[in-house]
Structure 1
Amino acid sequence: MRRDVSTVEELRAIVGEPAELVVKKVSPKLAPIHRDWLAHSPLCFVATTDAGGNIDVSPKGDPPGFVHVIDDTTIAIPERPGNKRVDGYLNVLQRPRVGTLFLVPGRGDTLRINGGATVVADADYFDTMAVAGKRPILALEIAIEEVFFHCAKAFLRSDAWKPETWRPEALPSVAQMVKAMGAGLSAAQLEQFTEENMRTQLY
Structure 2
Amino acid sequence: MTPHSGTFGSAGERLLQNHLGSAERAAGFYGRQVQPQLTPQMREFIRQQNMVFISTADAGGECDASFRAGPPGFVVDLDQRTLTYPEYRGNGVLASAGNVTENPHMGLLFIDFTHHHIGLHVNGRALLRTDEEQRRTYPRLPVDTAPGRRPDLWVHLVVEEAYVHCSKHIPHLEPAQRPPLSPDSRPKDAEYFVAPRPPAPPSQAPVPVPARHYGHAG
TM-score by length of 1: 0.72
- Alignment deviations for residues 148-187 of structure 1 (CA, whole Å, 9 cap, x no partner): 11111231xxx35379xxxxxxxx835278266233279x
| 1:71-86 equivalences in 2 (<5 Å) | 71-86=79-94
Q: Which amino acid aligns with 1:31?
A: T
Tell me the distance in 1 between the aligned counterparts of 2:112 and 2:196: 35
Change (3 A) 1:180 1:153: closer
Displacement of 1:88 in angstroms is 0.8
| 1:54-133 equivalences in 2 (<5 Å) | 54-106=62-114, 107-122=116-131, 123-124=134-135, 125=138, 128-131=141-144, 132-133=147-148
Q: Which amino acid aligns with 1:103?
A: I
Tell me the distance in 1 between the aligned counterparts of 2:14 and 2:77: 36
Alignment equivalent of 1:23, drawn from 10, 24, 30: 30
TM-score by length of 2: 0.68
* Count of residue correspondences: 170
Match of 2:186 in 1: 173
Q: Which amino acid aligns with 2:191?
A: V
- 5+ residue gaps, structure 1, are 1-5, 164-171, 187-203
Give me the CA root mean square deviation: 2.8
Give identity over the alignment, percent: 28
Displacement of 1:53 in angstroms is 0.9
Q: 3-state DSSP class of the match of 2:169?
A: helix
Match of 1:191 in 2: none
CA contact (8 A) 1:127 1:135 kept: no
Greater helix content? 1
Tell me the distance in 1 between the aligned counterparts of 2:14 and 2:26: 17
